[in-house]
Each structure stands twice: as structure tokens, then as C-alpha cells.
Structure 1
């Protein structure tokens, strides 16, 4: 007879009861844990996730009130609200049973019990616990999805040969579960491509969860990605599923993966290899089933040579690699993008009759767009806001000339270290016409270090 996969905890001060229940239930369920001391409950619940707890009502000799069992029931409900609890007592009465159910118990068993009734009650309790856990997981998913929907999103636009090659790759890889690495400068639309892959995948009806690894402090990495148990650290007020767990059966998008330190790369690699995560403060691994898409604007291959990025992590995340071209390499797409953003912001700012003069396009196509599509979007929005007439001309677009800008500004009028560093990086890039290797050499940095600073200052 195959056993049902379930972890059951039994708390009773009578060793004979514990032995009898362990012998009976071990024939039907995969794991049965017994404990005679109820004060061990918090430790047990923090260390493992139990599907069901069977709790005695009375632990003191001569006490038949059930008060102690009720207090421990409240504690279990506080520590692990999704876990079902079945109360047990030799002194049952209707009032006590009703009170226990009000506090959170799912059923009530009298001692001595009939085995058939016991097993039926436990199986019903397990189903309810699984339902509670599923509801909590869906709640976590909905919360993350709500946060995710607040992020800006636009359709993929492009007819250039460079973008057609990207579309072909997306179409080929989307229907598989292959891990995808998207490379490209800031503002080129890496997340938009990731979403396109998800929408065309076999997981399109499931969740798409994004994680900006560059925005997560190292101390919170495990909690954010793998989840935590209540009480695992000071601010852990309740059990919480991590991004891996919430994304299970769907797609997980790890943005700015090049920003991970080596220790965090090791933790990520372990999760990807085992396809399991363990919540902070817990001992039990949780199986995960995700489709992984990663992205970065950093030169991972150079970083491997320099020892700042692990080669085995790169092999794990880039079964297929997609390189997004910068906007300066797909100038023929600029009119399409401008028209799209113009329509969007004309509606937003109630200037529906706006159009763009054809004479403005040569200027827009000749500009280098160091901020790529993001910069173009902001330039169009600004032009729409400031426009006086019904037509946008070249003069409505405020585009910075790097060489003119650096001459007019000269040295920065500040002693703020971050502003000085930003100015130095910008000056080196301008001087070397965007050549990363030469700019890094002038600054005395590695290419990887320069890329990190460019990402930091959005250059």
C-alpha cells in the first residue's frame, strides 16, 4: 500500500498514545513526528512545515478543562495559520469542541478513538490544510502580480533587420522551457522581450514574476527569492513565500543578474541545480518548477575572465542567448517608436491632434540615444507636454550634445563624490565616443567596473 505524502505532528503527554498513533499513522502517511512536551511546539513549527497537527487538550495531571490545549491551539494558529489542527481529549464536551473550532481547530477526536474515524478525520484535515496553503500561495501571487502590473510596459515595436532577428529567436525559444539570457544596454527593452517570451510560451496562463536583483540588498536576497518562516528574523511577522516559490509553474525573470556578488551567485546556482528552495528559518526544501529568463547590461564574459562572475552560473542561465541592439543600431525603427509614444502621450495629456513634422526625423535619427528606447520615450513625453501648437518640430525635442555639453559645463561645480564620479564616467565615454574599453582604460577601471557605474548612473 502506497503512503500518502504528508507530514503529521502529534503532541500528547502520554507515551502510549504517541506510540499507538505513530505505529498506526506511519503505515498510511510518509512522515509522523511525535512530541510529549508542548513547549517544543514553536521550535518544531519554525523548523519544519507540517501538514497537520494532532494536539491533546490536557497536559497536566488531573486537569480536564482543556484550557492548556486551547492556549497551544492559539499558538499554532499564530505560528502556522495554514496548518490544520485536530484536537484530542478523553474529556470531550460540546462546548469545548465548539470553542476549539472557533479558535481554529478543524475537528475534534475523543479518546479512545476508532481507527476508521481517526483516518477519515486526518485525511479530511489534510485536504483542508492543503486548501489553506493554496489560498495563501495565491494571495502571495496576487500581491506580486499587483506590484508587477504597476511597472511600465509597452509592445515590442520594430521592423529593422536587427529586431527581426530578435523576433525570430523569441519565436523559436518561447515554446520551449529553455533558460534564456537577454543581453543589452540600459533602456533597450529587455523586460519587454522577456514578457514576449512568456506570452508565447506554454506557461502563458501562469504567472510572470520579475525580480530586480540590482535593487535587493544582499542581506535580504534569500528572504526575497526563497521566502522565510515567521520569526526567522526581526521583521519576519508571518510566513512568506519567496519569488521562486510564487513563480512555480510560471516564468521567473531575474533582471540585472550581473549585479550579484559571488556568494549570492552560489546560492542562486544551488536553487537552479536542485530545483528546490528552502525558506529562511526552515529546514525543508520546497520543489519549484520555473521557466527562467535572466537579463543584464553587463559584460558577463569579461566578468568571468576577471573572476567576478561564475562560469557555471552563466552556463546554467543561458541555454539560449538573445542580444538586443541599441537604438543607434536600429535607426529605421525610430519613426515607428516616435509615432507610438506620440499617440500614447497625446492621449495622456489630452492633445489628441498632435502630429510630428517630417523635418524632425533626421534629427531624431542622427542622435546617438545613449539611453536607448527609455530616453526616446522621455524625449517624446517632454515634447508633448511642452508643445504649443499641433505639430512637433525638431526644436521641441531637447537633445543633449555630449561634446557641446561637456565644453559648456566644464568642471562640475560640486564636491559630492557620486556626482564627481558620474561626471568622470560621462566625460570618459564622451571623449572616447562610447568605446567602453578605452573609457575604462582612461578611468583606471575594468570594463565590468565601468559597466556597473554606467548602470548605477543610467549612462
Structure 2
């Protein structure tokens, strides 16, 4: 078994301390013992134990367990994440169970059984490692400077639509409600999510992001909820899920429309009960998470088609924010272009001071199917390929021509054939990626599966 870390044992019986020290020495990194519970704070500060074994009674003939409750409260005030295991007589297990409700991790009975004692301590050490991992991640997020946070969440826009969104974000600053952000790909849904977080009551806690579109469906559950060692073939060690890590902070679920119905049910249960259970575990973990979700798919259509749970949608969309496409944001196109121009001129050490009128006109007339992301890439490419001139002109921007479909052979107007040809093109452009092809077609992944199955059935006929 793995090392048990550092153990502090507090008991008024020196024989018990001697026996436990002798028994646990081969398994523990270090052991400290004391008969004086008054020294607990000293040992916590100087020894930094991973596990505390605490007797329930210290006074002679005492059996109520009240002393144990008293010292448990003291310990948890010093370290709310402390792992405390009570030691109690067989007849006092009722008090031990009560102690667990008050914050103790577990209890062992005296006289103890070696295997059960070691198993309890091993489970406690796993919990300690999990909490330590979460604490480290939270500290890493907290160590971000204000400039770091601002640089990753900067939003530019003076259009009426964007001003309405900024006003909504401000109104949400004193609430902790769940948010659903809707908009096309490339409109900046992740930036809006971070802006909501940065202006929220949880701004000093963690912000954890999961891109549901990039995670294989069979890994959704382990990513969200975590898993125990041995839960499946490759689970060589325990892992905390994103919902556990995000406790106290904000969890951003991007592309929520990609969540399967089975995982939708589990997510709904976690939201309603505020509890999760890792894969391979029977123990519930309390969570306190503010959810922000985003998608470019029509969740309401998915509900009608039976591919998204209506009750989950109502849990996620307490407030909806609709991000407009870049083509509908007017002069924001120029504001964003100038911002990216300054950014990439500095990055690539180019002396470019602005955009010519012809360039601005070209940018304003373009439809920007890829939205802000496409504009950013267009500006970066223009800066890289420029000859260090002071002003960029229209010829510096290689934008895609308006999309025109090739005339179908023999002017075939059969809708079924047109749909089949369009699906084939989308699959080719996305290299067979179903989710990406569905996005290109403007339909859900499940609708695309259904259409493909329909085509297969027709072919077989």
C-alpha cells in the first residue's frame, strides 16, 4: 500500500499511543503522538500532519465524547480541510457517526482490527491528496495578476447589442445564478463567460473551463466527476473531477449541446442535489459551483427533437445572453481590427500605424462567417505578410470570396440529392468529424446522425 503520510495521534492512554506507533511505523512517513490535546495547534503548525487520529474522551472515566467534539471543532477552525479520524470504543459508535456529520472524516473502534484501521487510513490519505490537488489548482488561479485576467477576457465593442450585453453583465455582478450564452462560433462566448466571472461574487475563486466539443463522449463523466483508482483499466490513481475542483468558484461548460442524454441526466442530478460521486466510488462529495454554459447549437430545437433535456435547459438558462454575429455589430469590426492590428504589429515588430479607407471598406463589406476569430486571423496574416508599410490597404487582406455552390450537374433540383451532396461536402471539409460537420451545416450532431442513417437506409433499399 502507498505511504500514509504524516500522522498525529492524540490519546490520553500511553499504551494506546505506543501500540499505534509500533503498528503504523512501517506504513507512515512520520508519526507524532501526544497525550495532551492542548498541543494539537502546535503540532498542526509545526508538524503539518496529513491525518489526525483523535480519541473521543480524555478525562478519567469520561465517556460522553464531548471532549472529542470540542477538539474536533478546534482543529477544523485551524484547518477546515483537516483529515480527522476519531478513535472510539465499540459502545460509542453512535457518537462517532455524529462526529462525522460535524466534520470528522471517519472513525475506528478500539480495540481495532489492523486491516480495517489500515484501510481507513489509506482512504483518508487519498482524500488528503485529492484536497491538496484542488488547493494547489485554486492557488494557481488565485496567483493570476489582474493584468493576466484582463488580458484573457478583454472585450471590445461599442455597438448597441454589445452595450446591452455589458449592461447585463453588470446587473449580474451581485447574483450567483446560472448563465447560458448563445451565439455562433467565433463570437467570443468564452470571453463573455470570463467577463461574467471576473465581475461576479466568485471572482477571487477558481474559474474552470471544459470544452465539451473536444472531449470524447466516453470521457465526459470522468472529466466532470473524477474517478477512483481502479475504476477502469487506465485509472492508475485517483483523479478529482472538474466539478469538485471548481467548488466555491465557477465552472464554464463550453459547447454544452454536445453532452449526451445520459450525461445530461447526471449533470442535472449534480446541479439539483449539489453532490457528485466519482466513478468507482460510493461516497458523495458536496459541491458549490456557479455554472456558465455556452453553445452555438439551438438547444430549444434539440429539446423538440428529444436530444436535450428540457428540465436541464431550465436549470442552465436562468439568464440567457445572445451574442450577435460580427456582421451585425457595425463599426465594432473596425474597432476590433485596430485592436488586433496594434497587438500583432507589436508581436511581429512591424511599423504599421493603421488601416486605409479602402481596407476599412473591405472589412466592413465582408460577411465574416467565422466572426471575431476569423477577423483576428485575417489581421494577423496581413501583418505577417506586410512589407512594414505604415498603412494596410485592401490588397493586404485575402478574404474568402462570397460562397457560391457549384451548379449541380444537369440542374438537379431534387431536395434529397441536394441535401446528400451538402452533407458529403461538410463531412469532407471537416475530415469526417461529425460534430464539426454538423456545425458547418447549422444543425445538431444528432440531426446529422439521423440524416446519415436515413441515407444509409435509402441506399440499402
Normalised TM-score (structure 1): 0.65
Secondary structure at 1:447 match in 2: coil
* Corresponding position: 1:401 with 2:401: yes
Partner in structure 2 of residue 69 of structure 1 = 24
Partner in structure 1 of residue 362 of structure 2 = 363
1:303-382 to structure 2, matched below 5 A, reads 303-382=302-381
Secondary structure at 1:292 match in 2: strand
1:58-457 to structure 2, matched below 5 A, reads 69-73=24-28, 119=68, 130-131=81-82, 133=128, 135-142=132-139, 153-388=152-387, 389-403=389-403, 420-423=425-428, 447-449=443-445
Give, in angstroms, the shift of residue 103 of structure 1: 11
RMSD: 4.5
Secondary structure at 2:180 match in 1: strand
Partner in structure 1 of residue 115 of structure 2 = none
Partner in structure 2 of residue 95 of structure 1 = none
Q: Which moved more, 1:211-220 or 1:285-294?
A: 211-220
Give, in angstroms, the shift of residue 423 of structure 1: 4.9
Secondary structure at 1:210 match in 2: strand
Give, in angstroms, the shift of residue 212 of structure 1: 0.9
Distance 1:88 1:231 in 2: 36
Q: 1:347-379: CA deviations, max 9, x gaps?
A: 101114432112211111111111000000000
Secondary structure at 2:294 match in 1: strand
Partner in structure 2 of residue 429 of structure 1 = none
Query: Using a 3 Å threshold, how does the CA distance of structure 1 residues 354 and 170 change in structure 2: closer, same or farther?
Result: same
Give, in angstroms, the shift of residue 198 of structure 1: 1.2
Q: Is the 8 A contact 2:354 2:392 kept in 1?
A: yes
Could you list the runs of 5+ residues in structure 2 that have no partner in the other structure?
Answer: 36-46, 84-127, 408-421, 432-437, 450-461
Query: Using a 3 Å threshold, how does the CA distance of structure 1 residues 313 and 379 change in structure 2: closer, same or farther?
Result: same
Distance 1:144 1:233 in 2: 30
Query: Using a 3 Å threshold, how does the CA distance of structure 1 residues 422 and 220 change in structure 2: closer, same or farther?
Result: closer
Q: Is the 8 A contact 2:354 2:390 kept in 1?
A: yes
Give, in angstroms, the shift of residue 310 of structure 1: 0.8
Secondary structure at 1:181 match in 2: strand
Q: 1:322-347: CA deviations, max 9, x gaps?
A: 11000111132111000000011011
Query: Using a 3 Å threshold, how does the CA distance of structure 1 residues 131 and 137 change in structure 2: closer, same or farther?
Result: farther
Distance 1:183 1:136 in 2: 33
Q: 1:84-117: CA deviations, max 9, x gaps?
A: x88799xxxxxxxxxxx999776799x9996699
Give, in angstroms, the shift of residue 200 of structure 1: 1.4
User: Number of paired residues?
Assistant: 360
Q: Is the 8 A contact 1:58 1:68 kept in 2?
A: no
Query: Using a 3 Å threshold, how does the CA distance of structure 1 residues 88 and 231 change in structure 2: closer, same or farther?
Result: farther
Query: Using a 3 Å threshold, how does the CA distance of structure 1 residues 163 and 240 change in structure 2: closer, same or farther?
Result: same
Distance 1:450 1:256 in 2: 14
Partner in structure 2 of residue 433 of structure 1 = none
Query: Using a 3 Å threshold, how does the CA distance of structure 1 residues 258 and 352 change in structure 2: closer, same or farther?
Result: same
Q: Is the 8 A contact 2:75 2:82 kept in 1?
A: no
Could you list the runs of 5+ residues in structure 1 that have no partner in the other structure?
Answer: 1-38, 46-50, 78-84, 90-100, 408-416, 427-435, 441-445, 454-459
Give, in angstroms, the shift of residue 402 of structure 1: 3.6
